[in-house]
Amino acid sequence: MKKTIKLISFFIVIAIITLILPIVSNAETPITDENSLISAISSADSGSTVKLDSNITVKAPIVIAKELTIDGNGYTVTGSSEWTSTSGNQTMFTAQFSDAKLTLKNINLQNGPKYGVQSYDGATVILDNVSINGFKYGAVLANGGKVEVRKLHLGYNGTNANNGIEIDKGASATNNPTLVMNGTLTTDTNENVVRAAENGHLTEFTVTNTENTTNKVVIAGGNVVLTDSENNIISETKVPEKATVNTDTQSVVITLIANEQTNRIVVNLNETITADFLKTHIEIEENYVIEGFYTDAQYTNEFNFSNPVSADTTIYAKISEAKQEVPETTIPETTQPEKDETPKTGAENYIVIAVLIAIISTIGIINIKKKEKIG
């Protein structure tokens, strides 16, 4: 009996250990350095999330070939000054080939020998609350892959010139690049924020804007144009001569000149605009008014708002000091005393006279009686 109880107890312990071991083995190892980050990425199932537990310094590129989310948890990944990789790819994070879909979120990327992140040859990169600064070639590279911007802040990236998001196609890439704007893009400098490469390999690329995006990237005036929420131009770069652009909308540029102000605004091709729309893009001093909009600096030809804008257009706003209206001076009416319209009968005067006569008569009678007594 005792042996039976011991045997049953033994099997119970074995069963408990068997149940506990997978839990222990699957416990997440804190990601606090380069080795633990690479190990977590390597062992992660497709579609899973890897979350950082501290700031990390890396000294070699990290390549991802599956669907994965790296949640920085607000921490920073910094490129080491002792970068050791000798391969052609020197980007900190690369999503590679069509099976790869890398989402970077809540993370800061800092310093590196080439790019912060790239989507290569059919891969997708989604940038959601990401900050990138200090990379020598540029911040983001759409290298024959797709880049979607949800929330991105760019510091200064590049050497001789800033290079924010570069749209390109490497010599060995088989897919054309795509840029999707689906949120906000802020930048510390307005130089080359979005740029199409002029290396000869880029012959076709696509630019798309979602319905709810704050910042847009459009093609207007032969340029790749980044706009703010009011469609004012933030940055623009030339489209390479050999490149064909696929875009969801065709756009044109309105150059609005108002005295010393010059605003460049993007509107859809063949869109009809209004004077009220233009007024929202002009700041005027107090006591000044906008008299009208013209096609020439001499204000002789009024702009025709009934015609759609079919090409890049310059519009001049005529601003003048408002005329001060002098208020009319009016002489205040003097208030005349009310005229007594009551008929005058003279009765009041007669009463006064009668009283005086009575008094005088009384005094006279009194004096006569005194004399009689004396006499």
> Which one of 249, 266, 287 terminates a domain?
249
305-308 contact pairs (CB < 8 A, 24+): 305/272, 305/273, 305/274, 305/275, 306/272, 307/272, 308/270, 308/271, 308/272
Whether 18 has a pLDDT exceeding 50, the answer reads: no
Q: At 258, which CATH number?
A: 2.60.40.4270
Do 95 and 198 belong to one domain? yes
Do 96 and 214 belong to one domain? yes
Domain count, the chain: 2
Whether 285 has a pLDDT exceeding 60, the answer reads: yes
Kindly state the tokens that stand for 31. Answer: 């990601």
Q: What does the alpha-carbon distance between residue 198 and residue 207 come to, in Å, rounded to a whole number?
A: 17
Alpha-carbon 85 to chain mean position? 38
> Which one of 249, 266, 281 terminates a domain?
249
Alpha-carbon 344 to chain mean position? 86
Whether 20 has a pLDDT exceeding 60, the answer reads: no
- Considering only 212-221, 277-286, 310-319, 359-368, which range has the smallest mean pLDDT? 359-368
Confidence of residue 324 (pLDDT cuts 50, 70, 90): low
Which tens digit of pLDDT belongs to each residue from 74-120? 999 999 999 987 678 899 999 999 999 999 999 999 999 999 999 99
Q: What does the alpha-carbon distance between residue 358 and residue 355 come to, in Å, rounded to a whole number?
A: 5
H or E segment to which residue 255 belongs: strand 251-258
Do 63 and 175 belong to one domain? yes
Of 284 and 150, more confident: 150
Which tens digit of pLDDT belongs to each residue from 132-191? 999 999 999 999 999 999 999 999 999 999 999 999 999 999 999 999 999 999 999 999
Q: What does the alpha-carbon distance between residue 108 and residue 106 come to, in Å, rounded to a whole number?
A: 7
Do 202 and 122 belong to one domain? yes
Do 128 and 265 belong to one domain? no
Do 183 and 34 belong to one domain? yes
Average pLDDT, the chain: 87
Confidence of residue 34 (pLDDT cuts 50, 70, 90): very high
- State the residue range of the domain holding 59: 28-249
Whether 40 has a pLDDT exceeding 80, the answer reads: yes
Do 58 and 174 belong to one domain? yes
- If you average pLDDT over residues 44-67, what whole number do you get? 97
| 23 falls within a domain | no
| 108 falls within a domain | yes
Do 166 and 298 belong to one domain? no
Do 208 and 64 belong to one domain? yes
Do 291 and 278 belong to one domain? yes
| 351 falls within a domain | no
Do 179 and 268 belong to one domain? no
User: Which of 158, 149, 147, 114 lies closest to 129 in space, CA to CA?
Assistant: 149
Do 131 and 67 belong to one domain? yes
> Which one of 217, 249, 281 terminates a domain?
249
- If you average pLDDT over residues 297-308, what whole number do you get? 96
| 53 falls within a domain | yes
